[in-house]
Amino acid sequence: VLDTPKPAAESRCPVDHTAFTSPTGCPVSPRAASFDPFTGPYQVDPAASLRWSRDEEPVFYSPELDYWVVTRYEDVKAVFRDNQLFSPSIALEKITPTSDEANAVLARYGYAMNRTLVNEDEPAHMPRRRALMEPFTPAALAHHEPMVRRLTREYVDRFIDTGHVDLVDEMLWEVPLTVALHFLGVPEEDMDTLREYSIAHTVNTWGRPAPEQQVAVADAVGKFWQFAGTVLDKMRKNPDGHGWMPFGIRVQQEQPDVVTDSYLHSMMMAGIVAAHETTANASANALRLLLEHRDVWEEICADPSLIPNAVEECLRHSGSVAAWRRLVTADTTINGVAIPAGAKLLIVNSSANHDERHFDQADDFDIRRDNASDHLTFGYGSHQCMGKNLARMEIQIFLEELTRRLPHMELVPDQEFTYLPNTSFRGPDHVWVRWDPSRNPERTDPTVLSRQQPVKIGEPSKNTIARTMAVSGLERVADDILLITLRDTSGRPLPKWSAGSHIDIDCGTVSRQYSLCGDPNDRNTFQVAVLHDTQSRGGSRWIHTELSVGDTLRVRGPRNHFKLDPDAQRYVFVAGGIGITPVIAMADQVKAAGGDYEIHYAGRSRTSMAFLDRLARDHGDRVRIYPGDEGTRMDLPTLFATPEEDTQVYSCGPERLLSALGEATAHWSDDTLHVEHFSSTLEELDPSKEHGFEVVLKDSGITVPVAADQTVLQALRAANIDAQSDCEEGICGACEVPVLDGEVDHRDLVLTKAERAAGRTMMTCCSRACGNKLTLQL
Ligand code: HEM
Ligand code: FES
């Protein structure tokens, strides 16, 4: 294994050595053998330190730890997903076995930390989680917002005039601790003592204390255990109190087998750490990251609506839980590597969050990343963090208050960030910042103090992510059609997009959607072509009359409601007028992929038709042009007379053209025709005509009732399940989820008839159950 083999490590190695013929006889690579999460590169940057593993050896055995280490996104998520094969029972076990002396200290305090929720197996876990979830739902959390805001303001008041502060010591440690105590219903005790206890608990569980440290750590952990017991006893005497722990005590009276005494005592201690330290560290990571990216900090100061997604991106990029643990309960394989029953897994979610296979430019810090909330910092599946929305709320409020009151704050230069050495809980010990108090905005404008934006509870929605773009080109490409080139003012690469995507542009007082028609490989600019609609009272008139080169615009997206089926053998594109914009991007994409296609493009006259030169240049004889004033008409019935298997028809243009095309292809197979939709009323529900039903969530292990006046999406969110959406009108596909069982009443415009009939997925924003139950892979 090593240049100088460690006998202890080799003797533990669970790999069948006889099967290998390497010089040392052990297949553990040198890098796997030297992996040490308690010192060195992992402590500096866990994700970067494991890049080699993600690329070359995504599942490896670490003799140093006696754990198998899993580092890729899909593998880590798969382990989280299966809590039977991969038991969470070792999540809070001491990763470093402690000395007899330390154990004796713990015994003296009667230390008996046992199963809570996070380390409880089925069948005990889910009934307990269900019974204790209500205080975490968005509706219940909304009551805590004023308290979090008040505390945050009080702490900022204390240092706002000083000009420098360690944000961790003066705010980011204590506010989450106080919020955690409020949430749990624990009286506010001596904060410094609780801080000492919490750190000892982290070192005891995920650290590698030196033998001489172990006794002191055990002493603090023992005291923490006793403290938890005393608080619990007091609470039992007044079980009507507010907070999650008294709630648990009341549930115990009804369901003593579900909420046990051992659970309550263990949770009292673990809960303080779960609710507090995770969030304190996440906030400190977020502040460090944002202030290190000054341009991003300034962007969120200027536009606080970016904060919810910025929080999510901070949790992805620099999460506060770097790795988690599972125990393998039966022989299995992970990504092709055989793992024996009884093996322990270190699943490195911080590494998964930087996996290029899931996150584009994964190391970049991009607050507009539209899949940031796919991160695994909160875990996934039936044990996924119950407190995630409280944490999100806290971090949002911290950022909102600090960006508004101290936008000129900066990191004290050249400070060294230190971290408590351990595998899992990660956040800087201190974050020193400084500013000039005479420039505090509230000194000249006291209204700064009363401003606030409502907190968004839950996973942020993709369609709120806006960017500021400058108009770098305006070119008339046909009568009444302007080609607009937009450049991101931040200078960062724009997201990748696929043909059929559009962006939303704020045009004065209204927002309008325009299809992208430029080069998808150009990561610096977006291009859209806008027709001056003479009937228009807003969007296109504003663009044609008000816009000049150099102006800035707010843009959301790109989003794609009109995706190409990559598997078609042949494509027929039909465009009318300005409908050429998505079609030309699609034709470019099919051509680049070497596909077979033809384009039919109709317009009033050649001068009114955009991109004729580009079409002739790039698509030559695959294009047929039908300028109306030349007497050439697109004869749809003849074009589509004979149905063709494996041909897909994509069309964008005036309603008249689309309905004529619908008639002309009526005898073609159900999946042939795809047209672009920009809006619908599909989400509108008439409860008198609907029935309620249940959705069973396979990964999360819960059943969620959907009332007659509720969409599945709303019901999922109310049950604290992260659920993506975008249009919420059944036209974009963002809310699609896999269906495992039950018949779906499909109401969207996204799925083809064949996909509907197959019933393997559904759009949760509008579609419902035909019967009483649907089972979803969520
Ligand atoms: C579970 C992370 C904040 C309460 C977890 C898990 C992780 C995690 C990784 C295990 C997930 C799994 O096994 O799939 C975080 C992070 C936080 C945070 C990164 C802050 C940024 C909170 C807060 C609370 C909380 C504020 C409580 C108020 C819990 C509970 C569980 C849990 C009760 C156990 C759920 C179960 O096993 O069913 N958290 N957490 N967490 N967290 Fe959090
Ligand atoms: Fe767009 Fe449901 S959110 S289809």
pLDDT of 735 higher than 70: yes
pLDDT digit string (tens) for 686-719?
A: 888 999 999 999 988 899 999 999 999 999 999 9
Instruction: Answer whether 39's CB lies under 8 Å from 66's CB.
Output: no
- Atom number of ligand 1 nearest to Cα 380: 14
Nearest ligand to the C-alpha of residue 679?
Answer: 2
Ligand 1, atom 18, residue with closest C-alpha? 278
What's the rounded Cα separation, in Å, for the pair 674 and 607?
A: 28
CA of 761 to the centre of ligand 2 (A): 13
Q: Best mutation site among 462, 561, 712, 729 for ligand 2, i.e. most ligand atoms within 8 A of its Cβ? A: 729
What's the rounded Cα separation, in Å, for the pair 730 and 746?
A: 10
Ligand 2, atom 4, residue with closest C-alpha? 730
Nearest ligand to the C-alpha of residue 394?
Answer: 1
Instruction: Answer whether 365's CB lies under 8 Å from 130's CB.
Output: no
Pairing of the two strands 673-675 and 647-652: parallel
- Atom number of ligand 2 nearest to Cα 561: 1
Instruction: Answer whether 225's CB lies under 8 Å from 269's CB.
Output: yes
Read off the tokens for 534: 């003479």
Instruction: Answer whether 436's CB lies under 8 Å from 406's CB.
Output: no
Question: Concatenated DSSP letters for 590-603?
Answer: HHHTT-EEEEEEEE
- Does any ligand 1 atom lie closer than 6 A to the CB of residue 275? yes
What's the rounded Cα separation, in Å, for the pair 337 and 339?
A: 6
What's the rounded Cα separation, in Å, for the pair 642 and 431?
A: 70
- Atom number of ligand 1 nearest to Cα 324: 9
What's the rounded Cα separation, in Å, for the pair 742 and 693?
A: 11
Of the candidates 370, 373, 558, 368, the one whose C-alpha atom is nearest the C-alpha of residue 458 is 373
- Atom number of ligand 2 nearest to Cα 731: 4
DSSP lists the bridge partners of residue 624 as 600
Beta-carbon contacts of residue 127 (< 8 Å; ≥ 6 apart): 255, 258
CA of 113 to the centre of ligand 1 (A): 17
pLDDT digit string (tens) for 620-666?
A: 999 999 999 999 889 999 999 999 988 999 999 988 899 999 999 99
Pairing of the two strands 647-652 and 570-576: parallel
What's the rounded Cα separation, in Å, for the pair 321 and 348?
A: 9
What's the rounded Cα separation, in Å, for the pair 313 and 626?
A: 48
Question: Concatenated DSSP letters for 626-650?
Answer: EEGGGT----HHHHTSS--TTEEEE
pLDDT of 283 higher than 50: yes
Beta-carbon contacts of residue 100 (< 8 Å; ≥ 6 apart): none
CA of 542 to the centre of ligand 2 (A): 29
pLDDT for the residue numbered 620:
95
Ligand 1, atom 1, residue with closest C-alpha? 385
- Atom number of ligand 2 nearest to Cα 724: 3
φ, ψ of residue 65 to 5 degrees: the values are: -95, -25
- Atom number of ligand 2 nearest to Cα 683: 2
φ, ψ of residue 240 to 5 degrees: the values are: -90, 0
Strand, helix or coil for residue 300? helix
What's the rounded Cα separation, in Å, for the pair 415 and 404?
A: 24
pLDDT of 446 higher than 60: yes
User: In Å, how far are 175, 299, 319 from 449, measured between CA atoms?
Assistant: 19, 20, 30
Read off the tokens for 759: 């019933």
Determine the distance from the C-alpha atom of residue 203 to the mean position of all C-alpha atoms in its chain, rounded to a whole number.
Answer: 29
- Atom number of ligand 2 nearest to Cα 732: 1
Cα dihedral 293→295→299→302 (10° resolution): 120
Question: Concatenated DSSP letters for 226-252?
Answer: HHHHHHHHHHHHSTT-SSHHHHHHHHH
What's the rounded Cα separation, in Å, for the pair 551 and 270?
A: 53
pLDDT digit string (tens) for 372-410?
A: 999 999 999 999 999 999 999 999 999 999 999 999 999
Lookup result for tokens 């298997």: 645
Strand, helix or coil for residue 313? helix
CA of 22 to the centre of ligand 1 (A): 42
Instruction: Answer whether 179's CB lies under 8 Å from 148's CB.
Output: yes
Nearest ligand to the C-alpha of residue 79?
Answer: 1
Instruction: Answer whether 523's CB lies under 8 Å from 496's CB.
Output: yes
- Atom number of ligand 1 nearest to Cα 391: 26
CA of 137 to the centre of ligand 1 (A): 14
pLDDT for the residue numbered 252:
96
Percentage with pLDDT > 90 across the chain: 75
Ligand 1, atom 6, residue with closest C-alpha? 385
Strand, helix or coil for residue 495? coil
Nearest ligand to the C-alpha of residue 711?
Answer: 2
pLDDT digit string (tens) for 515-537?
A: 999 998 899 999 999 999 877 66
Lookup result for tokens 């351990």: 422
Q: Best mutation site among 513, 677, 725 for ligand 2, i.e. most ligand atoms within 8 A of its Cβ? A: 725
Q: Best mutation site among 79, 122, 385, 459 for ligand 1, i.e. most ligand atoms within 8 A of its Cβ? A: 385
Nearest ligand to the C-alpha of residue 140?
Answer: 1
Nearest ligand to the C-alpha of residue 267?
Answer: 1
Question: Concatenated DSSP letters for 550-575?
Answer: T-EEEEEEEEESS---TT-SEEEEEE
Read off the tokens for 4: 């100088």
**Helix pair 261-292, 294-302: axis angle to 10 deg:** 100
Q: What pTM does this model have?
A: 0.83
- Does any ligand 1 atom lie closer than 6 A to the CB of residue 398? no
pLDDT for the residue numbered 495:
85
- Atom number of ligand 1 nearest to Cα 381: 14
Read off the tokens for 76: 């880590």
Of the candidates 242, 240, 233, the one whose C-alpha atom is nearest the C-alpha of residue 265 is 233
CA of 764 to the centre of ligand 2 (A): 7
Average pLDDT (9-30) is 56
- Cα-atom radius of gyration of the chain, to the nearest Å? 29
Ligand 1, atom 37, residue with closest C-alpha? 118
- Does any ligand 1 atom lie closer than 6 A to the CB of residue 135? no
Ligand 1, atom 2, residue with closest C-alpha? 378
- Atom number of ligand 1 nearest to Cα 180: 28
What's the rounded Cα separation, in Å, for the pair 402 and 656?
A: 53
Beta-carbon contacts of residue 667 (< 8 Å; ≥ 6 apart): 643
- Does any ligand 1 atom lie closer than 6 A to the CB of residue 390? yes
What's the rounded Cα separation, in Å, for the pair 417 and 429?
A: 7
Nearest ligand to the C-alpha of residue 352?
Answer: 1
pLDDT for the residue numbered 5:
35
pLDDT of 736 higher than 70: yes
User: Which amino acid, 74?
Assistant: E
What's the rounded Cα separation, in Å, for the pair 767 and 604?
A: 39
Model ipTM value: 0.97
CA atoms within 13 A on the CB side of 392: 28
CA of 559 to the centre of ligand 2 (A): 11
- Does any ligand 1 atom lie closer than 6 A to the CB of residue 657? no
Nearest ligand to the C-alpha of residue 179?
Answer: 1
pLDDT for the residue numbered 195:
84
What's the rounded Cα separation, in Å, for the pair 79 and 325?
A: 10
- Atom number of ligand 1 nearest to Cα 117: 37
Q: Best mutation site among 182, 278, 395 for ligand 1, i.e. most ligand atoms within 8 A of its Cβ? A: 278
- Atom number of ligand 2 nearest to Cα 727: 1
Instruction: Answer whether 573's CB lies under 8 Å from 500's CB.
Output: no
For the beta carbon of residue 535, count every other beta carbon within 10 angstroms: 6
Determine the distance from the C-alpha atom of residue 243 to the mean position of all C-alpha atoms in its chain, rounded to a whole number.
Answer: 28
Read off the tokens for 221: 């952990």
Read off the tokens for 649: 């028809």
Ligand 1, atom 26, residue with closest C-alpha? 275
Measured from CB, residues less than 6 Å from any atom of ligand 2 are 725-728, 730-735, 748, 750, 763, 765
Average pLDDT (552-561) is 88
Beta-sheet strands, E only, within 444-595: 466-478, 481-488, 501-507, 510-515, 525-531, 552-560, 570-576
CA of 278 to the centre of ligand 1 (A): 8
Nearest ligand to the C-alpha of residue 731?
Answer: 2
pLDDT digit string (tens) for 152-208?
A: 999 999 999 999 999 999 999 999 999 999 999 998 877 788 888 988 999 999 999
CA of 714 to the centre of ligand 2 (A): 12
Omega cis (within 30) before 41:
no
Q: Best mutation site among 722, 724, 728, 755 for ligand 2, i.e. most ligand atoms within 8 A of its Cβ? A: 728
Omega cis (within 30) before 135:
no
Please give the mean pLDDT across all residues of the chain: 91
Instruction: Answer whether 29's CB lies under 8 Å from 82's CB.
Output: no
Omega cis (within 30) before 123:
yes
- Atom number of ligand 2 nearest to Cα 763: 2
Better pLDDT: 10 or 473:
473
Long-range contacts of 468-471 (CB under 8 A, 24+ apart): 468/299, 468/303, 468/552, 468/553, 468/554, 468/555, 469/526, 469/552, 469/553, 469/554, 469/555, 470/550, 470/551, 470/552, 470/553, 471/547, 471/548, 471/549, 471/550, 471/551, 471/552, 471/553
What's the rounded Cα separation, in Å, for the pair 576 and 658?
A: 9
Please tell me the total number of residues recorded for the chain in this structure.
778
Nearest ligand to the C-alpha of residue 263?
Answer: 1
What's the rounded Cα separation, in Å, for the pair 73 and 52?
A: 14
Read off the tokens for 9: 């490590």
CA of 461 to the centre of ligand 1 (A): 21
Question: What's 540's DSSP letter?
Answer: H
pLDDT of 19 higher than 90: no
CA torsion sign for 50, 55, 60, 62 is: negative
Lookup result for tokens 């900066």: 410
pLDDT digit string (tens) for 61-100?
A: 999 899 999 999 999 999 999 999 999 999 999 999 889 9
- Does any ligand 1 atom lie closer than 6 A to the CB of residue 386? yes
CA of 740 to the centre of ligand 2 (A): 19
